[in-house]
């Protein structure tokens, strides 16, 4: 498990974070049936078909208002794209969870199986497009008498990058801040979300363990955005990291301006030469893409400037096409396998 994946797993092992996720992103009708104040994380033994346990899956037992219990099967999906077979995987995991209850004799005679709420929390750059209903994967014509014998499964997908920054601001919750920091629209929105995070913890001083995890998240974002430039020592306090981040954004903006001036001074290849014409074409495409990126995503980080400066014409053309549907700067440069 990577450091990023481990951070996610540790964060959603806190009942406060999971309760915040459900409170602000689950439909109210379901939420009314749950007692989130008494939820308990379970040490499950669910394994994939390879025989290896997926550490990105977290199971919570949540009491219901009517005295029963519900099992929340939370899948933390770290892939860059949708998993077309996710609903099948959840169907298998649900069966394994029920089997574990039977094997451990947690069900009394006459007890029915407790309900399961499967949720996929996805943080990839491309939007989540996988089927959420198992019926969509079963090859059977409509109206077939066999449908009544087919397994049923549906899950709720939360695609972090789908929510606009303005919508997340209105939600005013810690989990919304987590989404804003993980999927910033540009550097400026990242700085603003970081400031709002500091303000949130100032109003909620009783969450130091969670605060440390958010410090790790901001540190990881700094490392990701710095490109080849070295960073000064990372402070211990979250508030100091935000101040440092603001300073780094200003520094990166000045470096971008300087590189642009240097690039402009290096123009002037002899007209008529084939090489000069090619360079002129590349400069034009690079400048056009740079302008489009800045309009949508704001000030570009150093790593993006370096990518543009080193790119050949086919890469610039491919990025320009990808820009049309890109929801983030990373998605423009993301290579699809």
Is residue 32 within 8 A of residue 105, CB to CB? The reply is no
Whether residues 26 and 136 fall in one domain? yes
Same-domain pairing of 89 and 14: yes
* Residue 248 exposed, middle or buried by CB count within 10 Å (0-12, 13-18, 19+): buried
The answer to whether 256 and 288 have CB atoms below 8 angstroms apart is: no
Residue 45 lies in a domain: yes
Residue 169 within any structural domain of the chain: no
User: How many structural domains comprise the chain?
Assistant: 3
224 and 311 together in one domain: no
What pLDDT, on the 0 to 100 scale, is given for residue 272?
A: 44
Strand partners, 62: 70
pLDDT for the residue numbered 181: 87
pLDDT for 50? 54
CA distances from 294 to 89, 118, 198, 248, 288 (A): 40, 39, 27, 18, 10
Looking at the fold, whether 214 and 125 belong to one and the same domain comes out as no
Cα separation of 41 and 12, whole Å? 10
- Residues 236 and 306 placed together within one structural domain of the fold: no
Residues 151, 124, single domain; the answer is yes
**Nearest-angstrom CA–CA distance, 118 and 153:** 9
CA–CA gap between residue 235 and residue 238 (Å, rounded) = 8
pLDDT of residue 293: 84
**Does residue 99 fall inside a structural domain?**
yes
Whether 304 and 244 map to the same domain: the answer is no
pTM above 0.75, yes or no: no
Q: What residue numbers bound the domain in which 147 lies?
A: 3-162
Return the pLDDT at 336: 46
In a domain, 174, yes or no: no
Same domain assignment for residues 207 and 106? no
118 and 196 inside one domain: no
pLDDT of the chain, 337 residues: tens digit per residue: 566 678 888 899 999 999 999 999 999 999 999 999 999 999 876 665 555 555 568 999 999 998 999 999 999 988 778 899 999 999 999 999 999 888 888 887 778 899 999 999 998 888 899 999 999 999 999 999 999 999 999 999 999 989 988 899 988 899 999 999 888 877 778 888 888 998 998 888 776 678 888 888 888 877 776 666 677 777 778 888 888 877 777 776 666 656 655 655 555 444 444 455 556 667 877 887 887 788 778 788 888 888 888 888 888 888 887 776 677 888 888 764 3
Residue 178 lies in a domain: no
Q: In the structure encoding, which two tokens stand for residue 36, read together? A: 């989130």
Q: Are residues 141 and 30 in the same domain?
A: yes
**Domain stops at, among 225, 245, 263:** 263
111 shares a domain with 94: yes
176 belongs to a structural domain: no
Mark whether 61 and 127 lie in a shared domain: yes
Residues for the chain: how many in total? 337
Does 109 reside within a domain? yes
What's 221-252 look like in SS3? HHHHHCCCCCCCCCCCCHHHHHHHHHHHHHHH
Q: Is residue 236 part of a domain?
A: yes
Residues in contact with 49: Cβ distance below 8 Å, sequence separation at least 6, in sequence order: 92
């Amino acid at each position: 498990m990577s450091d990023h994946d481990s951070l996610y797993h540790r964060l959603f092992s806190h009942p406060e974070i999971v309760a915040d996720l459900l409170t602000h992103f689950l439909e109210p009708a379901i939420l009314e049936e749950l007692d989130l104040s008494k939820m308990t994380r379970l040490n499950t033994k669910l394994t994939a078909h390879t025989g290896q346990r997926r550490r990105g899956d977290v199971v919570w037992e949540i009491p219901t208002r009517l005295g029963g219990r519900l099992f929340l099967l939370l899948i933390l999906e770290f892939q860059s794209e949708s998993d077309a077979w996710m609903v099948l995987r959840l169907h298998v995991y649900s069966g394994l969870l029920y089997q574990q209850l039977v094997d451990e004799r947690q069900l009394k005679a006459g007890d029915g199986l407790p309900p399961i709420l499967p949720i996929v929390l996805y943080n990839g750059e491309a939007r989540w497009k996988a089927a959420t209903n198992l019926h969509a994967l079963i090859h059977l014509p409509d109206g077939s008498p066999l449908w009544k014998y087919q397994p049923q499964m549906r899950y709720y997908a939360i695609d972090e990058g789908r929510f606009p920054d303005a919508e997340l601001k209105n939600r005013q919750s810690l989990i919304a801040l987590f989404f804003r920091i993980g999927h910033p629209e540009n550097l400026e929105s990242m700085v603003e979300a970081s400031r709002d995070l500091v303000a949130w913890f100032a109003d909620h001083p009783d969450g130091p363990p969670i605060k440390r995890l958010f410090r790790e998240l901001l540190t990881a974002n700094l490392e990701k955005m710095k490109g080849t430039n070295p960073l000064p020592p990372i402070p211990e306090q979250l508030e100091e990291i935000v101040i440092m981040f603001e300073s780094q954004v200003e520094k990166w903006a000045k470096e971008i301006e300087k590189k642009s001036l240097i690039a402009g001074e290096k123009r002037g290849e002899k007209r008529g030469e084939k090489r000069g014409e090619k360079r002129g074409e590349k400069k034009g495409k690079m400048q056009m893409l740079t302008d489009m990126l800045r309009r949508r995503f704001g000030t570009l980080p150093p790593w993006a400037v370096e990518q543009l400066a080193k790119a050949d014409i086919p890469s610039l053309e491919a990025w320009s096409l990808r820009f049309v549907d890109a929801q983030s700067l990373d998605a423009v440069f993301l290579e699809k396998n």
